[in-house]
Amino acid sequence: MPELKVTEQHLKHDAYLYIRQSTPRQVLENTESTQRQYALRDRAVALGWPLERIHVLDCDLGKSGSQSGGRDGFQKLVSEVALGKAGLVMGLEVSRLARNSADWHRLIELCSLVGALILDEDGIYDPANFNDRLLLGLKGTLSEAELHFLKARMRGGMINKARRGELEMRPPVGLVYRDDGVLTLDPDAEVQAAMRLLFETFDRTGSAMQTAKLFHEQGIRFPRRIRKGVNKGELHWVQAAHSRILQVLHNPRYAGAFVYGRVRTRLLPDGKHSTTKVPRSEWQFVIPNVHVGYITCEQFEANQKRLAENALGFGGARKAGPAREGPALLQGRVICGVCGERMTIHYGMAYHQVAPTYVCQEASIRRAEKVCQRVPGTVVDQAVSDLLLELMQPLTLEVALAVQQEVEARITETDTLRRKHVERAQYEAELARRRYMNVDPANRLVADSLEAEWNNKLRTLAEAQAQYEQQTQKQRRLIDSQTREQLLSLAADFPRIWNDPSVEPRERKRILRLLIEDVTLVNGEKIQIHVRLRGGATRSLSVAKPLPIAKIRKTKPEVVAEIDKLLDQHCDRELAQILNQQDRRTWQNAPFNLKKIAHIRQAFNLQCRYNRLRAKGLLTAKEMSVQHGVTTTTINLWAREGRLRKHRYDNARRCLYEPLAKGAILKGHGGRRPQQPAFTVAQAE
């Protein structure tokens, strides 16, 4: 009699009734099955358990039994059994308790250890009894196989429908199923307009980023349908992100094609599902022109080709990637100090040389917003280069080695704890091995459970060892004498190698990556540079921004003042010679010339030599000839003979003359070429 299995020892503990239905639909429609499960309480009362000591666990109604994750009722049942509080575990059948052999055998093992009985619709079982345990294990295996058969039948039907293109799958936003099962365009005109605008903009611009920018600049929202939760099926309007635009452009259903097998889903150990995208060549079924779409299949193929060409400039490889040929020293190592994203590189021409600029454009790429910040790369690269030369000095290396030895002494303390963790894992794995080796090979139920436990312990041991080795390699880098000498010799040779113009930029980048983990840049009043070295040490630098080209090309105030001063006594050609003798140079480090002096005079509104002399009252040869009643030839002759004082004002040796009082030169005294001075200075009355 089954009742003979129930003893006073069992009646001292409580009875637990576990109730479960696989889906909410079954809870609503299969009410008879639920009532049968609740009726098992009467069986427990008939066996001698009082009603108040019969606990009903029905919080898992509507949940699948394929795994224990997410089933709070089953977890509570297992914990109560493990604590020795249960004398009887009830379930209508094994499939109600668990559809997974691992969960089922774990429950059987716990019941066997604490002496609890298991009751189903067929009878009472004692897990400690071999025959009962064998029967329970067989029922668990059949229950798991039944779930497999159910899934296989369902999947076979899905595959058969998918082969014909008739399988109803969740449509993307912009497409809906009619009542007759035909997939058509969303009847909402606003949704259709948004989808058509997306495809038309991409066809016109050829860029998903430009499409997202148009939506962002115009303030146009994009439709999004809620897929789960209390608001499931509702339409929301959100900002059009770049990633969302790409999803729409990559989805062939908008071209009227039926596609099955674009993603693969697998169950993770924590109970969650992981979804992986499948390459297009591995899609299971692709049937074109099954339903109406927003674009044709030819347009979809053209869009895919264009997107593939655009993607060459982006992707994960662009975040770091191999060292390239460009002169940017920090390629793949720069992080934005404002938003924390990786910065890319733009090249331009400055002073007839290629100059890099570090640009943070993640917000622009992902959300069609403005560029976060731009940092000129020339000054940053030079500052980091100087830092590397400083770090590679022998004295600096000696200090670093001494500090590292001190750190190693501290790490030894934590290394002991990690080693004990590995030893404990080794002991548990060895204990599981001995249990498995001692079991009877014919008892497959127990052998399989012990083998699974042994495998779990081995995996735990492997993870512990891998973590120990990783931490040891990361935190403890032992340096012997030979390595120390190599490092010190490298410090002596490093400046020569680094500054060698024959060394390619790619090689410099590879050297830098051995020493620097990353560099964070902040462009403020000054450029803040935060360098994180290999090993965790950090250095912070602050460099001034490079001057704008307008300020660089502008002549220095002291040079302008000197030119203004020299113009009182010298012409432009003489002035250029004087400045060159003073070792003054232009912004291009070139000597001054006549054209440059004239440009400076015009730019700073400086009076030329001619105007300065005229302002002092000096006269031209014509004016002097009129004043003294002689020809200009005579005026030039008197100037050559020293009778007039002249001042040169331009580069053609033309000059102005200092005026004389009236009557200072008497015309005709002594002939045209007198043997004695032919002029007298009139006595002032």
Which three-class secondary structure string do you get for 380-394? HHHHHHHHHHHHCCH
The span from the CA of 145 to the CA of 142, in Å, is 5
- The residue that leads in pLDDT, 545 or 309, is 545
Residues 586-613 pLDDT 10s? 877 788 888 888 888 888 888 888 888 8
pLDDT band at 256 (very low <50, low <70, confident <90, very high): very high
The span from the CA of 114 to the CA of 626, in Å, is 136
> Dihedrals φ, ψ of 98, to 5°?
-165, 140
- Residue 574: exposed, middle, or buried by beta-carbon count in 10 A (0-12, 13-18, 19+)? middle
The span from the CA of 198 to the CA of 188, in Å, is 16
> DSSP of 576-610, one letter per residue?
HHHHHHTT---TTS----HHHHHHHHHHTTPPPHH
Residues 644-671 pLDDT 10s? 888 888 766 788 888 876 656 545 544 4
Residues 414, 407 contacting (CB under 8 angstroms)? no
Distances (CA, A) of 588 to 353, 551, 592, 597, 599: 13, 13, 10, 15, 15
Q: Which helix (H) or strand (E) holds 159?
A: helix 130-164
**Model pLDDT, residue 213:** 87
Mean pLDDT (whole number) for 18-31? 84
Mean pLDDT (whole number) for 3-15? 84
Mean pLDDT (whole number) for 97-117? 86
Report the candidate in 412, 384, 448, 365 with the shortest Cα–Cα distance to residue 138.
Answer: 448
**Model pLDDT, residue 257:** 92
**Model pLDDT, residue 676:** 43
Distances (CA, A) of 336 to 144, 222, 332, 519, 545: 53, 29, 12, 9, 17
Q: What six digits make up the tokens of 418?
A: 């990690």
Report percent pLDDT > 90 for the chain: 10
pLDDT band at 164 (very low <50, low <70, confident <90, very high): confident
What residues have CB less than 8 Å from 248, skipping those under 6 apart? 172, 174, 195, 198, 254
Distances (CA, A) of 200 to 196, 213, 590: 6, 14, 55
How do the residues of the chain divide into helix, strand and coil, expressed in percent and rounded to 5? Answer: 50, 15, 35
Residues 342-384 pLDDT 10s? 888 888 887 677 889 999 988 887 778 888 999 998 889 989 9
**Model pLDDT, residue 20:** 87
**Model pLDDT, residue 488:** 55
Grouping H, G, I as helix, E, B as strand and the rest as coil, residue 357 is strand
DSSP 176: E
**Model pLDDT, residue 677:** 45
Q: What six digits make up the tokens of 234?
A: 């509702």
The span from the CA of 21 to the CA of 28, in Å, is 10
**CA atoms 556, 559, 565, 570: torsion sign:** negative
Amino acid at 56: V
Amino acid at 478: L
What residues have CB less than 8 Å from 51, skipping those under 6 apart? 41, 45
Report the candidate in 453, 473, 465, 456 with the shortest Cα–Cα distance to residue 424.
Answer: 465
Cβ neighbours of 564 (radius 10 Å): 14
The DSSP bridge pattern shows strands 516-523 and 527-533 to be antiparallel
> Dihedrals φ, ψ of 90, to 5°?
-120, 145
Mean pLDDT (whole number) for 625-651? 83
**Model pLDDT, residue 220:** 84
pLDDT band at 492 (very low <50, low <70, confident <90, very high): low
In the predicted structure, residue 166 carries a pLDDT above the cut 60: yes
How does the average pLDDT of the chain come out, rounded?
80
Q: What six digits make up the tokens of 163?
A: 């082969």
Residues 201-225 pLDDT 10s? 898 888 888 899 888 888 788 888 8
Helix ranges restricted to H, 206-339? 208-218, 242-250, 297-310, 316-319
Mean pLDDT (whole number) for 245-272? 86
Grouping H, G, I as helix, E, B as strand and the rest as coil, residue 546 is coil
Residues 31-64 pLDDT 10s? 888 888 888 888 888 888 998 899 998 888 888 7
**Model pLDDT, residue 271:** 64
The span from the CA of 90 to the CA of 36, in Å, is 12
In this prediction the pTM is 0.47
Amino acid at 171: P
The span from the CA of 66 to the CA of 147, in Å, is 8
First to last CA, the chain: 163
Q: Which residues of 186-199 are buried (b: 16+ CB within 10 A; e: fewer)?
A: beeeebeebbebbb
**Model pLDDT, residue 185:** 93
Owner of token pair 């400055």:
350
Chain-centroid distance of CA 229 in Å reads 30
Q: What six digits make up the tokens of 49?
A: 């358990």
**Model pLDDT, residue 683:** 30
Query: Which positions are catalytic?
Result: 22
The span from the CA of 261 to the CA of 280, in Å, is 9
pLDDT band at 408 (very low <50, low <70, confident <90, very high): low
Residues 444-463 pLDDT 10s? 777 778 888 888 888 888 88
In the predicted structure, residue 162 carries a pLDDT above the cut 70: yes
Residues 465-484 pLDDT 10s? 887 787 676 555 544 455 55
Please give the biggest Cα pair distance in the chain. 167
- The residue that leads in pLDDT, 41 or 231, is 41
CA atoms within 13 A on the CB side of 90: 24
**Model pLDDT, residue 481:** 53
The span from the CA of 650 to the CA of 655, in Å, is 7
Return the HEC string of 70-95. Answer: CCHHHHHHHHHHHCCCEEEEECCCHH
In the predicted structure, residue 564 carries a pLDDT above the cut 90: no
> Dihedrals φ, ψ of 294, to 5°?
-85, -25
DSSP 342: B
The span from the CA of 102 to the CA of 69, in Å, is 12
In the predicted structure, residue 317 carries a pLDDT above the cut 50: no
